Structure 1
Amino acid sequence: MNAKNLDPKTVASFGDEWSRFDQSGMSEDEAEKVFKEYFAVFPWHTLPDAAEGFDMGCGSGRWARWVAPRVGRLHCIDPSEAVEVARKKLAGLGNVAFHRASVDEPEIPPNSQDFGYSLGVLHHVPDTAAAIRSCVALLKPGAPLLLYLYYAFDNRPVWFRALWRVSDGFRRIVYRLPAGLKHAVTDVIAAAVYWPLARLSVALEKLGFGVHGIPLSYYRKHTFYTMRTDARDRFGTPLEQRFTRVQIESMMREAGLREIRFSEGAPYWCAVGVKAE
């Protein structure tokens, strides 16, 4: 693979992560709930019959298992060994094709896809704007692209952003650890940080308090398995970038997307745009 827009250490990290967290430990109810959160703004009603599309950075196939039954054909694309995890998990779905490939060498022709999505992936490549352009190039005119990019806490107060900077300093230590130790440390983070804050949010919400401002309150309705997965993703990944809503919209427009809409709820930021005719 001679692709330029990827970071080899990050690719290897995700291969290890999705081999360990293949999402088999997540209940059907929670998996469906998370899927609906990420796809809340996706325009399913606009897709043609037997639509063909792509999952860029498919990982273990956790989104593809919900998307594939709704469409005609789905291309699962990932540069890491995680694509083999997805191949096994989705073996019962006959309309899924698997490509071990990168965003800039996706192995499917341009202007051929009726839809696409890339969730939690393109902030982990060196040039996110170029990666969005690569995704848009695969779409037919009028086709939608759904993106989820890590947000820069632009809807949060100053103290929240300062707290993130402290955690990011810790991330820069954790991601350098050997794989086994990295998993152990991120499990501790899930148990000692994610879980208590999630439970605190539950308790306060029951008392009638708003919990949006509490860090990690998003996890109050999710299981510890999801917390472990996301702690590994957050602290164990070498390359991470964050973008404001304005920056994301600008990159999408520059890539040729129009009719851009953002989900107003967590996770931030999910956005969909349509390729210009």
Structure 2
Amino acid sequence: MNNNFEDIIDKSIFQNVIIRNNFIQSTDINIQYTGNAETVKSFGEEWNIFKHSDLSLTETAAKEYFDVFPLEQLNKNWIGVDVGCGTGRWARRISPYVKTLYGVDPSEAINIFMENTKNDDNIIPVKAYAENLPFQDKSIDFALSYGVLHHIEKTEESIAEINRILKNDGIFLFYFYYNLDNRSFLFKCIFLIVNIMRKCISKFPPFLKKITCDLLAAFIYLPCVILAKIVKLIFGEKLAEKLPLSSYRNKNFYIMRNDSLDRFGTPLEKRYSKEQLTKLLKDNGFKNVVFSNNIPYWHGYAVK
């Protein structure tokens, strides 16, 4: 980020903020959080481990999210908001296609975000909660939130907030965990076991949680991926993609470790069917919802 921080901020789009030296802070950030504070803390710890400083490590995975709404459809005159920006892995990919991108996060990950985006002049860090975004009504052209809103208590309120700040016909790019509505009975049984494990592991101290999730990546994720690759070679893609964790065949071990910690180390997790998500988005002001039929489920975009 350049030295003229205040010069690149459009102050007219904000409400209830304090402008610091190199980031913007919502005035309610230090007030007692009414959501799940443990989840915020957990993600701060996670992004302190997986900083995503090198975007090439996650390039293959990132491309999966932009199939139904390619980056090229963004506009160089647009102002965007990344809700739950974490380390900035999405913001840094999107920023070349837009005028300004504000990265919003309430956790300590905002410090890593600032470090990772310090050379990106059109990315602005904002420390704030998704349930109370510090932007004026209808001031933002597009928003995205990938893998965040299913980890907070006030998911519906956060979606309503995103809708509030978007201009008419504004775009919301989303990714929510699916509830395995397009999977087999066996898949759903495996998930029940995984969910029980998550509820236990998420309560571990940070160091033990990290070690446990790394071991899960090495002894569950990796073997499943190897098996899926073998099945594909022998029996073809159609059978291979039915196996658990087969979607990680084109991903490296860094992503497996990160996703293992994300999956097993997070205190709160919600899952939605396509129908539930459609209703959730439309009930909170979005008129059109488009889903990708590809992994990860469910990602897509909604239009205000």
TM-score, normalisation: structure 2: 0.86
Q: Is residue 81 of structure 1 aligned with residue 98 of structure 2? A: no
Question: 2: distance between equivalents of 1:45 and 1:222?
Answer: 24
Contact 1:4 1:104 in 2 (8 A): no
Question: Counterpart in 1 of 2:152?
Answer: 125
Question: 2: distance between equivalents of 1:167 and 1:44?
Answer: 34
Superimposed CA distance per residue, residues 16-43 of structure 1 (whole angstroms, 9 cap, x where no aligned partner): 000110123x561x53322221122226
Q: Is residue 240 of structure 1 aligned with residue 269 of structure 2? A: yes
CA root-mean-square deviation: 1.5
Amino acid at match of 2:132: E
Distance apart, 1:221 and its partner CA: 0.7
Question: 2: distance between equivalents of 1:250 and 1:43?
Answer: 24
Question: Counterpart in 1 of 2:202?
Answer: 175
Q: Which has the larger radius of gyration?
A: 2
Question: Counterpart in 2 of 1:211?
Answer: 240
Q: Is residue 227 of structure 1 aligned with residue 256 of structure 2? A: yes
Distance apart, 1:165 and its partner CA: 0.5
Question: Counterpart in 1 of 2:295?
Answer: 266
Q: Which moved more, 1:1-10 or 1:217-226?
A: 1-10
Question: Counterpart in 2 of 1:109?
Answer: 136
1:37 pairs with one of 46, 64, 74: 64
Quickly say closer, same or farther: Cα 1:260–1:56, change in 2 above 3 A. same
Contact 1:6 1:102 in 2 (8 A): no
Unaligned runs of 5+ in 1: none
Contact 2:65 2:296 in 1 (8 A): yes
2:213 pairs with one of 179, 186, 191: 186
Quickly say closer, same or farther: Cα 1:145–1:5, change in 2 above 3 A. farther
Secondary structure (helix, strand or coil) at the match of 2:102 reads strand
Distance apart, 1:44 and its partner CA: 4.5
Superimposed CA distance per residue, residues 26-75 of structure 1 (whole angstroms, 9 cap, x where no aligned partner): 561x5332222112222655544321010000001111110011110000
Amino acid at match of 2:126: H
Question: 1: distance between equivalents of 2:136 and 2:35?
Answer: 20
Secondary structure (helix, strand or coil) at the match of 1:22 reads coil
Distance apart, 1:205 and its partner CA: 1.1
Contact 2:76 2:97 in 1 (8 A): no
Distance apart, 1:107 and its partner CA: 1.8
Contact 1:3 1:105 in 2 (8 A): no
Question: Counterpart in 2 of 1:7?
Answer: 36
Amino acid at match of 1:250: K
* Count of residues in correspondence between the two structures: 273
TM-score, normalisation: structure 1: 0.94
Distance apart, 1:4 and its partner CA: 5.4
2:121 pairs with one of 86, 89, 94: 94
Quickly say closer, same or farther: Cα 1:6–1:222, change in 2 above 3 A. same
Quickly say closer, same or farther: Cα 1:246–1:4, change in 2 above 3 A. farther
Unaligned runs of 5+ in 2: 1-28
Contact 2:131 2:154 in 1 (8 A): no
Quickly say closer, same or farther: Cα 1:4–1:137, change in 2 above 3 A. farther
Question: 1: distance between equivalents of 2:75 and 2:229?
Answer: 41
Amino acid at match of 2:241: H
Secondary structure (helix, strand or coil) at the match of 1:97 reads strand
Q: Which moved more, 1:127-136 or 1:14-23?
A: 127-136
